[in-house]
Amino acid sequence: MAAIETFYDVIRRQGVTRRSFTKFCSLTAASLGMGPIGAAKIANALETKERTPVIWMHGLECTCCSESFIRSAHPLVKDVVLSMISLDYDDTIMAAAGHQAEAILQETKEKYKGKYILAVEGNPPLNEGGMFCIDGGKPFVEKLKWMAEDAMAIIAWGACASWGCVQAAKPNPTQATPIDKVIHDKPIIKVPGCPPIAEVMTGVVTYITTFGRLPELDRQGRPNMFYSQRIHDKCYRRPHFDAGQFVEQWDDESARKGHCLYKMGCKGPTTYNACSTVRWNGGVSFPIQSGHGCIGCSEEGFWDKGPFYERLTNIHQFGVEKNADEIGLAAAGLVGAAVVTHAAATAVKRIVSKNNDHSA
């Protein structure tokens, strides 16, 4: 029997040390919330299982997902994952060009039938027979369907592939369409965000290539490990929301004190993503930390839920104690019903804790 090529063989051949490999496994296990045994599990899988090829294709998109991905926080994660994807096919960084590149797709499709992962950044536009995204002389939608036929699973990178994103905003001139509306017979994992966070992307791709199955998904097809909490739930400005301390204008005194950006249009209360925990650019920051509200870029159809900067004019200065509820109610029309529930829950909590205070 011919020796199988494992992922570990590949990275060792590329000069990654054993020590670095171990570190990669523990970092990834941590980011996936797998606990101390997780690292050993990942290491074992990578050392013994046949390497899973990843094909990375681009439809209608802006390449922000790739840009986010290739500057992963930990350089090693970047090396390892880049090696993993680029060994096969990637539009943005591969060496092969033209027909040579097309041949790689054909070869992967045959040699790894049912075993490769198809990572898709962007989406197919269906209007005018797919004319708005022509790749190698053919509509992208054809290439997508062709490569999806023999894939094990599909990763929908970013808001474009997951929901349609900006090009699908009204009036959606090209009829840009999320990939799950075009591919129906394969498991699809959605990793929304515009772009998704680098660590979320590396975490997801590592999980799938390591274990050969998808992580646990929510009802919308997103991995629970990264999308089960709202930005608001873990936002460091949250105490100021609860205390009714709000920014009124960019860079005002409240902004400098780190008060809540809700009145500047922040969509953190209705957005599910890991920005406030994982953060961006190597954990340095995230939009709210730079004084700008969340625009909700990982949510379905968020472009048509604007305006992004509409200020809530019906909220006036009021006492510290009860304003969170008032704001939640006043904002309901703008941000959605979830906020009402959330504000109510906050109010209940406060009442309970107040009562506790009284009884203590």
Partner 1 sequence: MTRLLVGPFNRVEGDLEVSLDIEDDAVASARVTTPLYRGFEQILVGRPMADALAIAPRICGICSVSQSMAAAAALRALYGVARAPNGVVAANLAHAAENMADHLTHFYIFFMPDFARAQYAGRSWHEAARRRFKAIEGAAANEVLQARRRLLEIMGILAGKWPHSLAFQPGGTTCAVDLGQKAQLVAIARDFRRFLEAIVFTAPLAVPLGLRTPEELERYCEGKGADGDFAAFCRIARALDLENLGRAANPLMSYGAYRGEAGAFLNAGVFDPIASALSPLDARAIREDVSHAYMRDGPEEPSLARTEPYVDKPDAYSFAKAPRLHGRPAEVGAVARLAVHGHPLVRALLERSRGSNVFVRVVARLIELAMVAEAAEGWAKALALNEPFCVVAPHDEDGDGVGLVEAARGSLGHWLGAQKGKIRSYQIIAPTTWNFSPRDASGVAGPVEQALVGAPLEGHGAGAASVQHVIRSFDPCMVCTAH
Between 108 and 346, name the residue whose CB sits nearer to partner 1: 108
Question: What is the footprint of partner 1 within residues 282-311 (CB under 8 A)?
Answer: 282, 284-292, 295, 297, 303, 306-310
Residue 322: count other Cβ atoms within 10 Å of its Cβ: 12
Q: Is 65 in the site for partner 1 (CB under 8 A)?
A: yes
Q: Is 313 in the site for partner 1 (CB under 8 A)?
A: no
CB 330, min distance to partner 1, A: 19
Query: How would DSSP label each residue in 81-111?
Result: HHHHHHTTEETTT-S--HHHHHHHHHHHHHH
Q: Which residue ranges are tagged as binding site for [3Fe-4S] cluster?
A: 275, 294, 297
Question: What is the footprint of partner 1 within residues 41-60 (CB under 8 A)?
Answer: 58, 60
Q: Torsions phi, psi of 50, nearest 5?
A: -65, 140
Region of 289 (left: φ > 0; alpha: ψ -120 to 50; beta: rest) is alpha
CB 66, min distance to partner 1, A: 7
Q: Torsions phi, psi of 237, nearest 5?
A: -90, 0
Between 22 and 254, name the residue whose CB sits nearer to partner 1: 254
Q: Is 190 in the site for partner 1 (CB under 8 A)?
A: no
Q: ∠ CA 270-164-159 to the nearest 5 degrees?
A: 55
Stretch that binds partner 1, among 83-91, 148-156, 316-324, 346-354 (CB under 8 A): 83-91
CB 315, min distance to partner 1, A: 18
CB 197, min distance to partner 1, A: 8
Whether the bond between 307 and the residue before it is cis, its omega within 30 degrees of 0, is yes
Binds partner 1 by CB under 8 A, chosen from 10, 30, 243, 255: 255
Question: What is the footprint of partner 1 within residues 106-165 (CB under 8 A)?
Answer: 125, 128, 131-137, 165
Question: What is the footprint of partner 1 within residues 207-246 (CB under 8 A)?
Answer: none
Q: Are 296 and 270 in contact (CB under 8 A)?
A: yes
CA distances from 191 to 3, 46, 221 (A): 34, 23, 8
Q: Is 333 in the site for partner 1 (CB under 8 A)?
A: no
Q: Is 70 in the site for partner 1 (CB under 8 A)?
A: yes
Between 41 and 229, name the residue whose CB sits nearer to partner 1: 229
> Hey, is 228 helix, strand or coil?
coil
CA distance 300 to 51: 33
Q: Which residue ranges are tagged as binding site for [4Fe-4S] cluster?
A: 62, 65, 160, 194, 232, 235, 260, 266
Between 113 and 236, name the residue whose CB sits nearer to partner 1: 236
Binds partner 1 by CB under 8 A, chosen from 10, 30, 40, 169: 169
Stretch that binds partner 1, among 32-40, 96-104, 177-185, 314-322 (CB under 8 A): 96-104
Between 213 and 256, name the residue whose CB sits nearer to partner 1: 256
Render the burial of 34-67: b for 16+ CB within 10 Å, e for the rest. Answer: beeebbeebbebbeebebbbbbbbbbbbbebbbe
Binds partner 1 by CB under 8 A, chosen from 274, 280, 315, 323: 280
Structure tokens, 32: 């996936």
Count of all residues that appear for the chain in the document: 360
Q: Tell me the β-bridge partners of 55.
A: 89, 118
Binds partner 1 by CB under 8 A, chosen from 30, 94, 243, 332: 94
Q: Are 64 and 92 in contact (CB under 8 A)?
A: no
Binds partner 1 by CB under 8 A, chosen from 162, 174, 210, 298: 174
CA distance 31 to 312: 37
Which residue in 91, 74, 94, 73 sits closest to 83, CA to CA? 94
Site string for partner 1, 11-30 (x = CB under 8 A): ---x----------------
